[in-house]
Structure 1
Amino acid sequence: MSRTSFLFTSESVSEGHPDKVADRISDTVVDLFLSKDPEARIACETLTTTNLVVLAGEIRGKGIMDVSGNWAPGIEAEIEAAVRAAVRDIGYEQDQFHWNTFEFINRLHGQSADIAVGVDAAGEKDEGAGDQGIMFGYASNETPELMPATLAYSHNILKKLADVRHAGGSILEPDAKSQVTLHYEDGKPVRATSIVVSTQHARGKTQAEVAAVVKPVVESVLPQGFITNETVWHINPTGIFEIGGPDGDTGLTGRKIIVDTYGGAAPHGGGAFSGKDPTKVDRSAAYACRYLAKNVVAADLADRCTIQISYAIGVAKPQSIHVDLHGTGKIAESVLEENILDLIGGATPRAIREHLGLNKPIYARTAAYGHFGRDADADGGFSWEKTDLVEKLKALA
């Protein structure tokens, strides 16, 4: 029997966290290359540390790099300019990590021919998955975004703090982390038992001064009544947080996959999203799984839904699908397993990309505050958050 009363915790990190700086840079490269060639292949990893940014990975695409591995004229300068602009947008102008002065090293190179031959469409062969793997999607009706409440509030706290910082005149600096613990009764969140926020701040500022900025933001994010006299607060619990970002800790692409997805409330297949073009099922199929799970919950066919799809490298057709409605379903899970992939063309890599319109420069915006639980954008960003399958799913019930 599943528990209905419990504590659960999720965390988030800000756009200025060193790992998120790396994610933002990697996805900026993805967007730049897709803007030149929608069929570009990109696997871009970023390392950030004190006054240094390093790119590495495998790429190919028209107007980017030829088959011999030679850069197109001017593209290397474009890459560096885009990377510096991304760091500037985050807000790093510190002595030990400044957008205009950090050392930049580009070690991107051509994609392996062995991978290309397995993934590309040819003759009767459809485009195959870029790698083997298991991908999960999840949705829950505990928030309007159909996301776990602990993660949604953790994200929103940091997003609002970033808005305060970007507005100017704040003591806040870019690097920050949050953590929200909620008490659930009858399976629903009812109050916050603990709030943790650690945020980088201007030199010489006190813990009390930081708390005076942070507490009102937290209180504005959580629902009325969630903060009580018994809520435990930890704001900059070490007392000082002046050195942060890549100067305080090394950042790497793809290290915040639980922050990026469901905050631990659902399984994760292990693959990161950022830095990968949409032929990589680590990214596109995870988006498809969220899209399907969200539509199931939006159709009121379940309070919670987890969907898993698996792939083999070079093979177009998924190897399996598993649906779990966590005992809340109004439809048989087997019915969804038999029919739901047909709603997105069988969930082949090509079908997912075409259904969700993923071959566009829409990825830098996903690099912070979660890939899920966001509003779909008019230009196709966050297309996997649409609920346009609701009526078709209701017809299956």
Structure 2
Amino acid sequence: MKKDFMFTSESVTEGHPDKLCDQISDAIVDRFLLQDPYARVITECAVSTAVVFIAARFEPGVSVDVTNVARQVIDQVGYDQPDFNGKTCSILTSLRELPREERDFDEKNLSDAEIEQIPVKNIVNVFGFACNQTSNLMPMPIWLAHKLARRLNTVKFQKVLPYLAPDGKTQVGIEYKNRKPHRIHSIGVIASQNRRSTPNLKQLQDDIRATVIDPVFQNEEIQPDEKTRIFINPDGPVIVGGPSVHSGVTGRKNDVDTYGEYAKHSGSALSGKDPIRIDRVGAYAARYAAKNVVAANLADECEVQLSYSIGLSRPVSVQVETFGTGKIPDEEITALLEKHFDFRLAGIIKQFNLRFLPSLRKGGFYRKLAAYGQVGRTDIDLPWEATDKVGVF
């Protein structure tokens, strides 16, 4: 196992076209579940210059104006330029009702034996990961990249830098020694600007350094040093950005949603799906297991893989990899997870209360996950981020 290396991860702001699509998709999921927590809905979105395309499949009996939801999200993200805005963009839809079926199940009222009878309907391998590099047990590169992206978005909305447009990207490179973060190798920020007020490149770079980078690293244990390479719009000003420049699609930023490529992640999109989809909620359960393993000090790093097959309630395989950092053998950790964690579909939905979170959290729930990561969050009380299973080890 390599011990000395350099690793980079990227994050993007809410206005990045892919993240805009994720937010529209998950805002639609929220609306369906607000009306009926047991509703079935699968939504995908694509955006380009002045055009939004929404494909949605849903159960009959629930009515959501998906076009209006999309326009609201576009406005809230901050797109108000003639090139792309919520009022004038064209929205095309492909809407189809799913076959009407009896309710699959109500997990709140199921016994353990009944939960065992609820099969998954998808084939998927999902991954969860945790490590002790940061306070919330996430890899440091993606943790810092998210902080930079969130700060970039904040200085736009608080009008600290009023000339910024919604689209932005950040990247952080970390040098590791003995698999531990050693120094900040590089920091990259790409900020787009609107046409109404565009400072010169030097002013933009100074502003981003002073209002975004310096505040983010102010209290970090590892600080940029004199050799840290800092890139701010290295190719020059980016005017407007967003869908007018590059298209977006739901589910294309799985690395940003999870671990910044430091660990494996499923190829399936997380956004745009109701909680009955195991390719979404299984990823949350895997993160929950991995995080509790590291929080219990059984390993410095832990990756949990769950493999699901259609027609079965339990994963056909549970695998643990601790990359040589485990205090006990990986096989023993696997056995503990299988004994103390419920990886069955209905069990996951029941434990995390996934159908009802949109109605219990002000402003919806799933849309909030669609930017800055669906794991490792500290700004949202996520049930799969709890470390309440530490005592079982």
Q: CA 1:341/1:60 → structure 2, altered by over 3 Å: closer, same or farther?
A: farther
Decide which of 216, 223, 229 is 1:221's aligned counterpart: 216
Which residue identity lines up with residue 52 of structure 2 in the other structure?
V
- 2:45 equivalent in structure 1: 46
- 1:355 equivalent in structure 2: 351
Which residue identity lines up with residue 231 of structure 1 in the other structure?
T
Is the CA contact 1:44–1:108 (under 8 Å) kept in the aligned structure 2? no
Gaps of 5+ in 2: 107-112, 359-364
Which residue identity lines up with residue 11 of structure 2 in the other structure?
S
Which residue identity lines up with residue 392 of structure 1 in the other structure?
V
Which residue identity lines up with residue 151 of structure 1 in the other structure?
I
- 2:362 equivalent in structure 1: none
Is the CA contact 2:194–2:240 (under 8 Å) kept in the aligned structure 1? no
Is the CA contact 1:376–1:384 (under 8 Å) kept in the aligned structure 2? no
2:296 matches 1:299: yes
Is the CA contact 1:120–1:126 (under 8 Å) kept in the aligned structure 2? no
2:367 matches 1:370: no
Which residue identity lines up with residue 183 of structure 1 in the other structure?
E
**Secondary structure at 1:144's aligned position in 2?**
coil
Moved more, 219-228 or 126-135: 219-228
- 1:186 equivalent in structure 2: 178
Structure 1 Cα separation of the partners of residues 199 and 57 of structure 2:
44
Aligned pairs for 1:256-295 (under 5 A) are: 256-295=253-292
- 2:80 equivalent in structure 1: 93
Decide which of 199, 205, 209 is 1:205's aligned counterpart: 199
**Secondary structure at 2:238's aligned position in 1?**
coil
How many equivalent residue pairs?
Answer: 373
- 1:58 equivalent in structure 2: 57
2:165 matches 1:173: yes
Is the CA contact 1:344–1:352 (under 8 Å) kept in the aligned structure 2? no
Is the CA contact 2:174–2:181 (under 8 Å) kept in the aligned structure 1? yes
Which residue identity lines up with residue 92 of structure 1 in the other structure?
Y
- 1:11 equivalent in structure 2: 10
Is the CA contact 1:273–1:283 (under 8 Å) kept in the aligned structure 2? yes
Q: Structure 1, residues 297-350: CA drift from partner, whole Å, max 9, x if none?
A: 1111110000000111232221110011111112232222223134333x1111
- CA drift of 1:103 comes to 1.5
2:69 matches 1:82: yes
2:152 matches 1:161: yes
Which residue identity lines up with residue 267 of structure 1 in the other structure?
K
TM-score normalized by the length of structure 1: 0.89
2:384 matches 1:388: no
Q: Structure 1, residues 26-84: CA drift from partner, whole Å, max 9, x if none?
A: 000010001111111111000111122111032115x41xxxxxxx4xx33xx322222
Is the CA contact 1:219–1:227 (under 8 Å) kept in the aligned structure 2? no
Structure 2 Cα separation of the partners of residues 322 and 109 of structure 1:
38
Q: Structure 1, residues 191-240: CA drift from partner, whole Å, max 9, x if none?
A: 11111111101333222122122213223223255211111121111102
**Secondary structure at 2:341's aligned position in 1?**
helix
Is the CA contact 1:260–1:372 (under 8 Å) kept in the aligned structure 2? yes
Is the CA contact 1:201–1:210 (under 8 Å) kept in the aligned structure 2? no
Q: Structure 1, residues 86-112: CA drift from partner, whole Å, max 9, x if none?
A: 111111111111112211222121226
Q: CA 1:26/1:165 → structure 2, altered by over 3 Å: closer, same or farther?
A: same
Structure 2 Cα separation of the partners of residues 100 and 212 of structure 1:
34
TM-score normalized by the length of structure 2: 0.90
Which residue identity lines up with residue 178 of structure 1 in the other structure?
T
- CA drift of 1:358 comes to 0.9
**Secondary structure at 1:161's aligned position in 2?**
helix
Structure 1 Cα separation of the partners of residues 277 and 314 of structure 2:
14
- CA drift of 1:372 comes to 1.2
Is the CA contact 2:49–2:243 (under 8 Å) kept in the aligned structure 1? yes
**Secondary structure at 1:258's aligned position in 2?**
helix
2:318 matches 1:321: yes
Structure 1 Cα separation of the partners of residues 378 and 383 of structure 2:
8
Gaps of 5+ in 1: 65-71
- 1:150 equivalent in structure 2: 141
Q: Structure 1, residues 114-172: CA drift from partner, whole Å, max 9, x if none?
A: xx79x945997833213101000000100001101000000100101111111125221
RMSD after superposition: 2.1
**Secondary structure at 2:375's aligned position in 1?**
coil
- CA drift of 1:376 comes to 6.9
Moved more, 287-296 or 46-55: 46-55
Moved more, 160-169 or 29-38: 160-169
**Secondary structure at 1:330's aligned position in 2?**
coil
Percent sequence identity over matched residues? Answer: 37
Q: CA 1:293/1:99 → structure 2, altered by over 3 Å: closer, same or farther?
A: same
Structure 2 Cα separation of the partners of residues 344 and 176 of structure 1:
38
Moved more, 141-150 or 230-239: 230-239
